[in-house]
Structure formats: structure tokens, C-alpha cells
Amino acid sequence: MIILGIESSCDETAIALVKNGTELIAHNIHSQTKLHREFGGVVPELASRQHVESIHPLLIKTLEEGKLSLNDIDAVAVTQGPGLEGALLVGITTAKNIAFLLNKPLIAVNHLVGHIYAHYLTDTPPKFPYMALLVSGGHTQLVHCIDHGKYELVSATRDDACGEAFDKVAKLLGLGYPGGPVIEKLAKEGNQTAFKFPIALPASLEFSFSGLKTAVLQTVKNTPNYKAADVAASFQYCVIQTLLKKSLKACNEYKCNRLVLCGGVVANRTLVQSFQDTCSKKTIHCHSLQPVLSTDNAAMIASAAFFNQEHLLEKKQLNTLSPKPSFQL
């Protein structure tokens, strides 16, 4: 079964062709980073307009690379949310048109579930049950994954998402957008113990990153001649320790020995290395991802659609997208 995946929830337009949920035939991502950089964050209206310009050429390119025509596709999968409304609308409208014209099923996918399914495109997809740590620009969650279509939300952030904290700290250090990659690069030159930032809600599985952001701001204000690399390294260290502590606690509480890392922040190799080192000592199997599959892409959307189709809408309803995601965390 070949699924055409479409993703446009934020600042990446992405198209993918995936066979049987696991085999990546072709995929392309158009990142809008350059467009939004001068504003220090994603400007929703600009994002929507750019999606409109990018989506069609990207579709043609992906079909050409996959040596397929639209007629070879069995179903169309699209990110239904969460995301920027105008941006989502571009992908959803494109997907609806293709599905309608070809009379093919249309499968609506929750973006967060999509991030988890990026792992089914790797050589070692995780076996159920597992604990997923989902860390992106908009969300930070621990999700207990019991089976396809059976996800239990364990905890989430009370305020800022983890990726958002990277972006805001980078902004206050004057490092530009997006913050994650620049903080990670600068942190390599810094001392991670130079500043001691606190882990929020240490006894809880819930997350909170707004206090950390304020702590970084106060440190910068009160430390003349601070070294930005030291701040970046200490901040990143605190984030990694926070995520590690809560993920291990969740694995312990849910008696899970498989931890699955997903979402854009997992592009951070320092984070992945810390998780792998710690998990190996605790006999927890840690699944990580290559950066291109951890940040937003359409292959994960097609994969999630394949594995969850029976849990989604009835076939007759597939061509209607309700305002609510067809399955939610």
C-alpha cells in the first residue's frame, strides 16, 4: 500500500511517498527557516503563503523521484493538527483535492502521533509497549504507547515546550532562530557546570520550562561579561537532565524498558548521546532518530496513517475531515 503523506503544520512543507508504513520511496522537505529568521520566530501568515508556493512543486518533485504517478497512490494522509491553522489548511486542501479527484481515501493524522511513527521508518522500529518522549517546538509529552491506536498521555508541559525554550533562550542570547541547532553548536565550546539551573517539578512527571527561561534571563542580566557558550551549555545540560530524569521515572512507573525519542529536539546529538549512555546503564533500550526524521517531515505522517488506518475513521467517512483530529493523544 503506497501512501502519499503531506505535512504543513508549521514552517516546513513536506511531501513523502511511503510503502506499507515502513519503506520510504521518496520524500522532500522545504524549510522556511530563512524566511522567518529575521523575525526571530515563525510568522503564521508568511508561513501559509510560503506553503502555497512550495507544496505543488514539492509534490511533482517527490513523484518524479519516486518514479510514480498520482494514480499509483492508494491513499492520501495529511497532518490535521495541531499546528498553525492557515498553514494546516494548505496541506489539508491539497490532500482533499487529490483524494477527491482520484477517489482515494483521505486519512487525517495527528501531528504528534506522526512524530512517534517516524520510528517505523527506521531499521529497528520499537516493539510495544514503549514510552515515547515527544519533544518539539510546540509540545513536550511522555506518551505510553500500548499498541497502534492505543496511546496514553502520561504527562505534558504546564507552560513552554522544550523546543520553544531552546528558541527563546537563543533569542535572549542574540543567537538567532531556530534556537536548538545554534544552542547545541555553541554549547560545545562552553562549560555545562558554569551555571546551575534548576530542574522544574523534580518529583513530578510533568514538565515546565518557563522558570528555566527566566533563570537564564536573570543570570544573563546579573552576570557581567558572561560567556554565552557557558550559558548555552548549562541551559542545555539542565534541559537534558530534566528530560532524562522524567523519562526514566515514567519508564519505571509504567514498567517499560523501551524509551522512544521523537520530535525536533531529538535532532540534538548531545541529548541523544546522554540518553543512550544513561539508558544502557539501566538496561532500557533507547530508540533515537536521525535528525531528518525527528524534525517535521511527511514520511512520519504517511507511516502513522498506514499503521493506524483501522483505528481511524470508517472508510466511508475518510473523505471528510472533522474539526477534531481523528485520533488524539
Q: Which residues bind ligand KG4 (CB under 6 A)?
A: 10, 136-138, 163-164, 166-167, 178-181, 184, 263-265, 267-268, 295-296
What span, in angstroms and rounded, lies between the C-alpha atoms of 140 and 133? 8
- Choose the contact partner of 167 out of Zn ion, ligand KG4, none; CB within 5 to 8 A by kind: ligand KG4
- Choose the contact partner of 268 out of ligand KG4, Zn ion, none; CB within 5 to 8 A by kind: ligand KG4
Dihedral over Cα of 7, 5, 126, 291: its sign: negative
Cβ 235 to ligand KG4 shortest distance, Å:
11
Beta strand spans in the chain (E):
2-7, 12-19, 23-31, 75-81, 106-110, 130-135, 140-147, 150-156, 258-262, 285-287
Dihedral over Cα of 182, 297, 125, 129: its sign: positive
Cβ 265 to ligand KG4 shortest distance, Å:
4
- Choose the contact partner of 79 out of ligand KG4, Zn ion, none; CB within 5 to 8 A by kind: none
Interface residue with Zn ion among 62, 136, 219, 278 (CB under 5 A) is 136
What distance, in Å, lies between the first and last C-alpha atoms of the chain?
Answer: 26
Q: How far, in Å, are 205, 285, 322, 325 from residue 313 at the CA level?
A: 32, 33, 10, 10
Beta bridge partners of 14: 7, 29
Residue 79, interface with Zn ion (CB under 5 A)?
no
Cβ 104 to ligand KG4 shortest distance, Å:
26
CB nearer to ligand KG4: pick between 184 and 230: 184
CB nearer to ligand KG4: pick between 77 and 265: 265
Residue 12, interface with Zn ion (CB under 5 A)?
no
CB nearer to ligand KG4: pick between 28 and 295: 295
Binding site residues, Zn ion, CB under 5 A: 136, 296
